[in-house]
Amino acid sequence: MICLLAKCGNDAPAGSLPPDGNAVSWQGEQSITKPMVNNKPAIAIPGIKEIVFTAGDRKQKVNFYNPKENDCYFQMNLYAEDKLVWKSGNVSPCNGYYDIELNRVFQSGTLQGYLLIKCYKQDGAELNSAKVKFKITIV
Amino acid sequence: MKKIISIIMVVGLIAAIGVPAVSADSFNGGTATITYKEPDTYCVLIPETIDMTFDNYHFQALDMNLVEGDEVFVTIGGLIDEGYFPLTHENGVDTAKKKIYYDYSSVSSEKRELFPPYCVGYFTDGDTVSKTGFMMINDNESHFKAGNYTGTAEFTVELREKV
């Protein structure tokens, strides 16, 4: 009976399985491979189609962030009708903003806006920047 | 006595659960239409810097989930002398400029007419590589000091809705 049960189980008991010598001691997740295009380092820029603000309030909800794939700081500058209404400090990858406070309030309506993202290496060297255009709807 | 009270409570509880909020006589049935619109999401990769070796550069996207008909355009700013990109030598003194050549070969002439000026990247839904690209070309008369040149550009990324 014991022999029969043994044959029905795994071919080899766990105790006799050899460990994979290629596996390494786990130290937590390694950094994500940095984005490259045509073998040149690249910066991930999140697109924005529209943001909605509350009329008459300086405090607003947004989703502004520096993607985890990046290896640079973001300095974000929000413009409405070409006027600066908010700016960030140096934002590391994986960080961003859900709540911001504008330097003015808006009345209901629609505005043209853009987020100017200035990118810098950690040593301060300036990289290419991006201007993400979108519509601002104020309700 | 306790047993009787318990029975009465259980019967009462069952009766309360069993009564429907809307009686069968007053319920007319019907259907509800739930509309949900998934918004556009996209994430474009721009180069960290520009150098002289940009040849047939096509932009890539980490994500390009657009409503059908919507389009994403990438344009390049900071050009001088009507279409030249300024570069600085690694010595920090000498400068150079290279003409930007736009590769629109994979789009129709009708579509090209709708492109914004200095368009270097064009995506539609699901594209992970832009349909257009650009490269840096030398003028015949251009002669620059040997060495590495780099420069920075401002790329404008814009989603245009289907008209």
CATH number for B38-160: choose from 1.10.1740, 2.40.50, 2.60.40, 1.10.3470: 2.60.40
What is the structure's pLDDT at B15?
A: 52
- Please answer yes or no on whether B47 and A130 come within 8 Å at the CB atom: no
Q: How many CB atoms lie within 10 A of CB B163?
A: 5
What pTM did the predictor assign?
Answer: 0.78
**Among the partner residues A40, A47, A67, nearest to B157 by beta-carbon distance:** A47
ipTM: 0.77
Q: Residues A17, B15: contact at Cβ < 8 Å?
A: no
Beta strand ranges found along chain B (DSSP E): 41-47, 50-51, 57-65, 71-77, 84-89, 95-103, 119-124, 129-137, 149-151, 154-160
- Is the CB of B37 inside 8 Å of chain A's CB atoms? no
Q: Residues B139, B78: contact at Cβ < 8 Å?
A: no
Q: Which residues pair with B154 in a beta bridge?
A: A129, B77
Is B10 in a helix, a strand, or coil? Answer: helix
- Is the CB of B46 inside 8 Å of chain A's CB atoms? yes
A119/A93 Cα distance (integer angstroms)? 11
Searching chain A, which residue's CA lies closest to the CA of residue B43?
Answer: A46
Domain boundaries, chain B: 38-160
Question: Does pLDDT of B23 surpass 50?
Answer: no
Searching chain A, which residue's CA lies closest to the CA of residue B160?
Answer: A49
**Which site among B48, B63, B87, B162 would you substitute to test the A interface, given the most A Cβ atoms closer than 10 Å to its Cβ?**
B48
What is the structure's pLDDT at B136?
A: 86
Q: What is the pLDDT of residues B40-97, one digit of tens each?
A: 899 999 999 998 888 889 999 999 999 999 999 999 999 998 889 999 999 999 999 9
Q: What is the pLDDT of residues A108-133, one digit of tens each?
A: 999 999 999 999 999 999 999 999 99
Q: What is the pLDDT of residues B93-133, one digit of tens each?
A: 999 999 999 999 999 999 999 999 999 999 998 999 999 99
Which residues are within 8 A (CB) of B117 and not within 5 positions of it... i.e. 6 or more apart? B75
pLDDT band at B24; cut points 50, 70, 90:
very low
C-alpha angle B117-B121-B127 in degrees, rounded to nearest 5: 145
Give A59→chain B minimum CA distance, Å. 23
Give B142→chain A minimum CA distance, Å. 25
- Please answer yes or no on whether B157 and A45 come within 8 Å at the CB atom: yes
